[in-house]
Amino acid sequence: MSDVAAVEQLVKKHKALKAEISKVIIGQDEVVKQVLLAIFSGGHALLIGVPGLAKTLLVNTLAQALGLDFKRIQFTPDLMPSDILGSEILDENRQFKFIKGPLFANIILADEINRTPPKTQAALLEAMQERAVTIAGNHYNLSLPYFVLATQNPIEQEGTYPLPEAQLDRFMFAINLEYPSFSEEVDIVKATTTDVSATVNPLFSAQEIIDFQQLIRRIPVADNVIEYAVQLVTKTRPKSPQATELVNNYIDWGAGPRASQNLILAAKTNAALNGKFSPDIADVQSVAKGILRHRMIKNYKAEAEGLTIETIIESLF
């Protein structure tokens, strides 16, 4: 199949996928869009929202529609690395046998990742980066495709272990979940207080998703679009020649080179899902907030004046 035909097939399957997800998830269109961008780009996503906004339901529905193996891990302060990676035990023949932990699935929902100690966070983040884990000196590859969708509650921070910036950078997207609108909430209540439940049909195979990820990487990008993405990221860095007055005054730390790579990869995916064969500057701008918001650190002045990261990112366009 030619790449042009493959892009057309991706557009059709993406449309059908959104229809399957909408059987269960009401509203949250922008969230679904960004999660799908992360998945077809081969990246991980951090979902930030208060309890009750259907984060777990969204990931579970997504896994069903993609036809992938799904595991949920509830992160708690007493969770140890072996609890998620697995461990070796002695079997009845006195031979060591490896019992796989919940990390061995295609889609992992890491619920409240900031509630677990750094040692366990690091074990998960190594799996995210390497798509493999090392236990007792043995190397185990994880099944592809492999996605980690982690959640954080932005309100209650007592007794949490915030992810360091270097670890946040491993997530391609940071996605903010907002409250539903009045009409959406009415529809949610109607749909979830009866004994009727929607059936989500699997539309993809694991190999199809891998093929689409490889297709995204083959999509050509014009030099001016790459230069725009790099310039956008450079503008986020205080004291750089391109930095704006807003960045110099309100940002302590800007985005690194991984942001530039992710901007182009996500822009390619955004273009392909919309039936285009090469991304333009509008595609870069469309994905910029989700990719940059967790890679820029505001200073105390921005906090005091109530300035949001989104406002600063928009000013860079």
Largest CA distance in the chain: 69
Model pLDDT for residues 9-64, shown as the tens digit of each residue: 888 888 988 888 888 888 888 888 999 999 999 999 999 887 777 788 888 888 88
Q: Over the chain, what is the mean pLDDT?
A: 86
The matching CATH number, chosen from 3.40.50.150, 3.40.50.300, 1.20.140.10, 3.30.565.10, for 3-193 is 3.40.50.300
Where along the chain do its domains lie? Answer: 3-193, 219-316
Whether the model clears a pTM of 0.75, i.e. scores above it, the answer is yes
Residue 298 pLDDT > 90: no
State how far the Cα of 29 lies from the Cα of 231, in Å rounded to an integer. Answer: 29
* Stated length of the chain: 317
Q: What does the block give as tokens for 126?
A: 């190594």
In 3D space, the residue among 143, 97, 149, 95 whose CA is nearest the CA of residue 124 turns out to be: 149
Model pLDDT for residues 150-170, shown as the tens digit of each residue: 888 776 666 677 777 777 888
Most confident of 29-38, 44-53, 87-96, 112-121: 29-38
Q: What does the block give as tokens for 5?
A: 């035909």
Long-range pairs for 252-261 at CB < 8 Å and ≥24 separation? 252/297, 252/298, 252/299, 253/165, 253/296, 253/297, 254/295, 254/296, 255/292, 255/295, 255/296, 256/169, 256/295, 257/233, 258/169, 258/295, 259/169, 259/233, 259/291, 259/292, 259/295, 260/229, 260/230, 260/233
Q: What does the block give as tokens for 204?
A: 């993809």
DSSP per-residue letters across 24-65:
T--S-HHHHHHHHHHHHHT--EEEE--TTSSHHHHHHHHHHH
State how far the Cα of 297 lies from the Cα of 285, in Å rounded to an integer. Answer: 20
Q: What does the block give as tokens for 8?
A: 């057309």
Q: Is the dihedral of CA 109, 115, 120, 123 positive or negative?
A: positive
State how far the Cα of 259 lies from the Cα of 261, in Å rounded to an integer. Answer: 5
CATH for the stretch 219-316 = 1.10.8.80
